Amino acid sequence: MILGKSTARILAPLWAALLVALAPQAALAQDAAPAVERAAATEAAPAAAETGAAAIGAVDDKADASTTDVAEGASAYKPLGPEWIKGQPTPGGLDVQKQYSPIGEQAVPFHNALVWIMAIISAFVLGLMLYTMIRFRRSANPVPSRTTHNTLIEVVWTLLPVLILVGIAIPSISLLSAQYQSAPKDAVTVKVTGYQWYWGYTYPDNGGFEVISNMLPEDEAERRGEPGQLAVDNRMVVPAGEWIRIQTTAADVIHAFAVPSLWFKLDAVPGRLNEKRLMIKEPGIYYGQCSELCGAKHGYMPIAVEALPRPQFEAWVRAQGGTVGKPEEAAAPAVAPLQQPETAAQQPAEGAEAPATEAAPAA
């Protein structure tokens, strides 16, 4: 009986381990076919975005000679080169990545303090155990002590942990609440959508365009001087030095949007909109990865955030066919699209020809 029970106890975790080991391969086999279709579908999307950008360039050139700076602004955007990479993992790195957001700067000292608190407590408990095992071993104590209570020790071992926990809770809760404070009203909103297996970045305050972001093949990443399996074709571009409102959701299964060097991680859940604020202190490129097991290609949907100074960010938005300005101004052209060449160009279905010829007499 006893043998049977203990054998079952040993076998149960082995079974569980076997199941966990086999499950991803089953998923891989199932998902191989749809992945090809999806890849084809997503390739079409960036192409559409490019047509939009080309269209807006055409409109601006012909609309008015004085708008050349706008046209230049639109064409001035160039993706940051590899010399701008700031947040990325380093080979053999042990500590957390260098932080580039105010919240990360608040979190790192707290993290380091926690590591020390844990290390000291663990060493203290280990020391106590070793001391007890040696000092009170049977051979040294043929007649054991019959002590059962010691009021002073009981008060100390109750109060001390309570004080330690309260001491940890105060900075911990303030760090948590700092992350979930509302972003300022005029903050740029980026709606991040997780798909199996790529990311979509929508800019609802800037005309609502969506950028689809896929991982670059290893050789292409290397050619561009970027880290393999982290580089993407279209980055999530945001302004640097100001609060941004990040909202996450997903189209299929749960993903998680996580960028270690910005101390940012937020689950992307289908049918739900999660929100957190983010500030990137300086322009640069910051890499992250999906951090929720989401299927066979979970490890191949990296995140690349590109933070730019305001003017370059606005140039990028225009290059995507988006609008820049206060929410009222951005919303107004949507009512009367024909009066605003920029907005007309957002709809590639109508073609770049029509609005361009309409705008031409104004020049």
Question: For binding to Cu ion (CB under 5 A), which residues are involved?
Answer: 255, 290, 294
Nearer to Cu ion, 243 or 300 (CB): 300
Please name the helix (run of DSSP H) or strand (run of DSSP E) that holds residue 221, with its range, or none.
helix 218-223
- 362 touches 63 (CB < 8 A): yes
> Is the Cα torsion angle 335, 208, 244, 323 positive or negative in sign?
negative
Residue among 290 and 319 whose Cβ is closer to Cu ion: 290
Taken in order 242, 276, 45, 350, is the CA torsion positive or negative? negative
Task: Report how far residue 279's alpha carbon sits from residue 66's, in angstroms, rounded to the nearest whole number.
Answer: 35
Shorter beta-carbon distance to Cu ion: residue 56 or 231: 231
Give 202 or 291: the residue with its C-beta nearer to Cu ion: 291
Cα separations (Å) of 228 from 56, 89, 166, 186? 33, 12, 43, 36
- What gap in Å lies between CA 168 and CA 294, rounded to an integer? 33
Reduced to 3 DSSP states, what percent helix, strand and coil does the chain have, rounded to the nearest 5?
Answer: 55, 20, 30
**Shortest gap between Cβ of 89 and Cu ion (angstroms)?**
18
CB of 27 to Cu ion, least distance (A): 13
Least distance (Å) between residue 93 CB and Cu ion: 23
Report the residue number, 49 or 294, with the smaller CB distance to Cu ion: 294
C-beta of 33: minimal distance to Cu ion in Å?
19
Q: How far is the CB of 255 from Cu ion (least distance, A)?
A: 3
Nearer to Cu ion, 63 or 290 (CB): 290
Expressed in angstroms, the distance from the first to the final Cα of the chain is 95
Q: Residue 88 in contact with residue 97, Cβ under 8 Å?
A: yes
Counting Cα atoms < 13 Å in the Cβ hemisphere of 29 gives 4
Nearer to Cu ion, 294 or 307 (CB): 294
| Minimum distance of Cu ion from residue 32's CB (angstroms) | 17
CA 221 – CA 88 distance, rounded (Å) = 14
User: Is the torsion defined by CA of 296, 192, 41, 306 positive or negative?
Assistant: negative
Measure the CA–CA gap between 17 and 20, rounded to whole angstroms. 5
| Residue 234 C-beta: closest distance to Cu ion, Å | 17
On whether the CB atoms of residues 240 and 220 are closer than 8 A, the answer is: no
Q: Which is nearer to Cu ion, 27 or 54 (CB)?
A: 27
Shorter beta-carbon distance to Cu ion: residue 267 or 358 = 267
CB of 128 to Cu ion, least distance (A): 44
Least CB distance to Cu ion at residue 84 (A): 26
d(CA 267, CA 261): 17
Q: What are phi and psi of 167, to 5 degrees?
A: -60, -30
